[in-house]
Chain A
Amino acid sequence: MNGLLKFITCGSVDDGKSTLIGHMLYDAKLLFADQERSLELDSKVGSREGNIDYSLLLDGLMAEREQGITIDVAYRYFTTERRSFIVADTPGHEEYTRNMAVGASFAELAVILVDASQGVLVQTRRHARICSLMGIKHFVFAVNKMDLIHFDRNRFKKIEKEIRMLLAEFDYESVKIIPVSATEGDNITTESEHMTWYRGGTLLSYLEEIDVHADDVEKGFTMPVQRVCRPNHTYRGFSGQIETGKLNVGDEITALPSKEKANVKSIICVGKEVDSANKGQAVTVQLDKEVDVSRGCVLVSGARPTVGNLFTAKLLWMDDSELVAGKNYLLKLGTKKIPAVVMNIKHKIDVNTGSEVSADAIYKNEIAECDISVSEKIVFDEFAQNPTLGALILIDRITHMTSACGVVMHKLNRADNLTYHEMDITREQRENQKGQKARTIWFTGLSGSGKSTLANALEKRLFAIGKHTMTLDGDNVRMGLNKNLGFKEQDRIENIRRIAEVSKLMNDAGVIVINSFVSPYRRDRRNAKEIIGEDNFIEVYVSTPLEECERRDVKGLYKKARMGEIQNFTGISSPYEPPENPDISINTAEHDIETCIDILLEKLEDKI
């Protein structure tokens, strides 16, 4: 037995993927009798004039059976005398590229179908590109429908040449090109009688033989920590799966990112105590001394992944809403989950041709190179070096959708060269000197709700009692610091980011910052809160109703918006998302200004 092989099949619509796998299962006698019977029955109502339609075995979801296409990955399991297989059958349509990527991320080898009557198509290139991006290093090209070109050797040779040219742009370890007919069964499990000129063996025998496990002992030991195991106060172990290398009791390991060293005291491997454990095994490791290790840390020995917070990654965008630079996501890499910002989009990569195209936004099923910054130093590596420490996903913070997957190309040194200067005079000392706690009070609400009036009145009262304050106002900031920003989504995000960074600097200087910005989106306010710091951010929702704001219409903006002279006006033609849990909520239609300020001061009393 050669162990388990996980492979993916891909190809364009109608290239015959499902038929190929169905035929392989059928020929290898791997079907149960009841499945075989229902296959023959289903085929009678199907198209192939009573001949067996092998694809019916695989297309499982109702929607697919009705439309005759494969929209999601289907996993199949079969075992021959020589090997066990898991095959992920994936969709061909460009709009389901992300589903194909799901299958590819799981697989060690790709079987790419090429229609012999059409040769290498743009889809073939796209599939090879996605497989390569997701880390597949072993390729089989099944040149299918050879029966339709009368098993012509010269046509096959020409396609073979096209495939070799296509592969030149990818990094791969093995490739095999086989002429087949999936419907008739040539070179699937038995050698073709029609192609005596081909003596390279069948598809199944190739899959049974190929060795896909690279020998990477020299890479050293790495294990991302999944959880800390604490059954009682005498035992503290770190659980995880060994991703590269080998671990022995007594080995010296380094815990990253803290860089503390310790020796391995004991190893538990799937429930039993052992002296050593290897790549792929699930272990719990006990160390000989207390080190700072929690979930998301990585134990290493002889391996040198990067500890940093800035890197360049290649992303495959999978979300319906697009990516623009500056957006904040949750990033998961190894076992670490952490807030991250996509700093910029360097360029898009045309998924069909591979050429680099400049872009402002990335849409579903597109690939792009981006710089990503995470909120604290994490342990990562180049994907080519260590796939587990180089693969990542981005999670939308509101919808929780897996918005993108990607691979780390290389670290960026910019962050390493900038070190945060620890000042001798601390923020706390500055706060004490001024007799206050430096917080950012963030007013949000509709235009005309009374934010600026409240902010102004509040500042006067605080000033009068000896507090050191500074007010930032939307219009004022846009006239200076943010003069170069417009109102597009990415500009809006950048606007809030700069304001938040300035507020943070002022807080660090010991100053109380009072901000009044419409800031209609929860996502933006959350970003600001993260930059300024959870504990320093006081959200004040000015909840004056829209009708009242519109009645006041201090700047005449509502009128213009109603007449269509202003586009995307918050409250009229663009949404306002009220805070879910504001620290303070106040309605200026219910009280006069002085009462409002009294209420505010009462609630702020312990906070500033």
Chain B
Amino acid sequence: MSEFLHLDELEAEAIYIMREVAAECEKPVMLYSIGKDSSVMLHLALKAFYPEKPPFPFLHVNTTWKFKEMIEFRDKTAKKYGIEMLEYINEEGVKQGINPFDHGSSYTDIMKTQALKQALDKYGFTAAFGGGRRDEEKSRAKERLFSFRNSDHAWDPKNQRPEMWKLYNTEINKGEEIRVFPISNWTEKDIWQYIKRENIDIVPLYFAAERKCVIRDGNIIMVDDDRMRLKEGEEVQTKKIRFRTLGCYPLTGGMESNAETLDEIIDETLGAVSSERTSRVIDNDGGAASMEKRKREGYF
């Protein structure tokens, strides 16, 4: 027993969940956000079904404001493993010129939340794997591994199905869907240690490098392309930075760092002074309970 380590236990749990969903759910999909958690999820899916390929497609909801390096990494990864990678863009939102500078929180709603709902409806997926973890935020700490969404894709936190042992109840009515979080029980540290142990590829933005950026409201925002609008007094500077989470570049705060290797990142993470999600500007918009609110409305 003693050789069966903490990471092995988490890995076996995630694989068990993925296999249950593949066996019981009608039309599963794995959401792929290109971040490190998605890299771990993909790696687990490849292992869970080997020598078969994962028996479901992957879906990336593209807001069109992702870092360039993320999109390159996505396409390279899909090709390398021969997996089916679907991309969904809310074209209506693009037509209306919805962007993170002018539209604030409605940008997130239209380009992420609504786009995800549209994508799930378009393909008729009945179960969607997500890489959410309970250590990220307080309301996630209470979400089940199998989380049910009604036909409006909304979550009802007061009425969660009891989840006993590993007897997952995957029965749903037509129009409903399940969000499944196989790495709920992993911490940020577990993710990094697993990436190292398994030698998993991640987007280079996680490693410190000289990058062009501006300082905005105390966050370091990278200038990834010329769509970045500068406010008065802001000046593009070059700093050695890295990212702890990845999303839309104008909304993702970087940190000054010298961590160029996984070991250095793990060292920094162990001594971290702020929890992971504070680097996402979106979370602080609306107070501590804002994530729960968004999830009730269908955000992942």
Contact = CB atoms under 8 A, between A and B. Distances in A.
Interface in A51-102: 58, 60-63, 65, 71-77, 79, 84, 86, 98-99, 101-102
Contacts of B273: 32-34
Given A79-B189, A229-B49, A32 B134 contact: no
A280 B164 contact: no
A393 B292 contact: no
Contacts of B49: 229, 239
A72 B157 CA distance: 9
Contacts of A330: 171
B165 A387 contact: yes
Contacts of A335: 20, 23
Given A213-B1, A229-B51, A270-B11, A86 B185 contact: yes
Contacts of A33: 273-274
A280 B12 contact: yes
A233 to B, nearest CB: 13
Contacts of B10: 4
A3 B2 contact: yes
Contacts of A318: 162
Given A72-B142, A281-B8, A393 B164 contact: yes
B169 interface: yes
B102 interface: no
Given A71-B158, A337-B24, A102 B163 contact: yes
A227 B22 contact: yes
Contact of B162 (A102, A213, A241): A102
A76 B187 CA distance: 10
Given A32-B274, A60-B142, A3 B4 contact: yes
A601 to B, nearest CB: 33
A43 interface: no
B12 A61 contact: no
Contacts of B19: 226-227, 239-240, 282
B135 interface: yes
Contact of B187 (A1, A34, A77, A278): A77
B138 interface: yes
Interface centre among B20, B162, B169 (most CB of A within 10 A): B162
B6 interface: yes
Contact of B23 (A4, A227, A279): A227
Contacts of B202: none
Contacts of B172: 400
B160 interface: yes
A107 B44 CA distance: 24
Nearest to B46: A271
Contacts of A72: 142, 157, 160
Interface residues of A, number: 69
A480 interface: no
Nearest to A334: B167
A406 to B, nearest CB: 9
B161 interface: yes
A99 B158 CA distance: 11
A142 B256 CA distance: 44
A454 B125 CA distance: 44
A61 B137 CA distance: 11
Nearest to A35: B275
A530 B221 CA distance: 62
Given A241-B12, A270-B15, A402 B139 contact: no
A282 B164 contact: no
A235 interface: yes
A105 B164 contact: yes
Interface string A358-402: 000000000000000000000000000001100111010000111
B275 A34 contact: yes
Given A227-B23, A402-B162, A281 B171 contact: no
B48 interface: yes
Given A61-B292, A99-B162, A402-B162, A226 B189 contact: no
Nearest to B48: A282
B23 A332 contact: no
B47 interface: yes
A60 B139 contact: yes
Interface centre among A215, A237, A282 (most CB of B within 10 A): A282
B278 interface: yes
A95 to B, nearest CB: 12
A212 B169 CA distance: 28
Interface string A95-136: 000110110011000000000000000000000000000100
A62 B6 CA distance: 32
B289 interface: yes
Interface string B253-275: 00000000000000000001111
Interface in A551-593: none
B287 to A, nearest CB: 10
Contacts of A134: 164
Interface string A278-291: 11111010000000
A50 B135 CA distance: 27
B50 A62 contact: no
Contact of B141 (A65, A74, A279, A387): A74
Contact of A284 (B11, B50, B161): B50
B52 A231 contact: yes
A73 B142 contact: yes
B162 A281 contact: no
Contact of A105 (B24, B52, B161, B165): B165
Contact of B16 (A32, A77, A241, A401): A241
Contacts of B53: 231
Contacts of B173: 400
B9 A280 contact: yes
A226 B52 contact: no
Contacts of A353: none
A62 B294 CA distance: 13
A4 B162 contact: no
Contact of B47 (A58, A270, A333, A393): A270
B50 A405 contact: no
Contacts of B139: 60-62
B288 interface: yes
A25 to B, nearest CB: 12
B197 to A, nearest CB: 12
A23 B177 CA distance: 38
A509 B192 CA distance: 67
A326 B189 CA distance: 50
Contact of A32 (B50, B160, B161, B272): B272
Contact of B6 (A1, A32, A227, A281): A1
Given A3-B2, A3-B5, A60-B138, A230 B169 contact: no
Contact of A332 (B50, B142, B160, B167): B167
A61 B142 contact: yes
Contacts of A99: 162
A468 interface: no
Interface in A388-427: 388, 391-393, 395, 400-402, 405
A71 B134 CA distance: 17
A84 B6 contact: yes
Interface in B126-142: 134-135, 138-139, 141-142
Interface in A1-45: 1, 3-4, 32-35, 38
A226 B161 contact: no
Interface string B54-88: 00000000000000000000000000000000000
A295 interface: yes
A226 B21 CA distance: 10
Given A102-B162, A284-B51, A332-B169, 12 more contacts: A4-B9, A34-B273, A58-B141, A77-B187, A213-B1, A270-B15, A271-B46, A280-B4, A282-B12, A393-B169, A401-B161, A402-B162
8 contacts: A1-B6, A63-B157, A101-B162, A226-B23, A227-B23, A284-B51, A332-B169, A395-B169
The 8 A-B pairs at the shortest CB distance, nearest first, are namely A60-B138, A271-B47, A400-B171, A231-B52, A405-B164, A32-B275, A227-B23, A282-B15
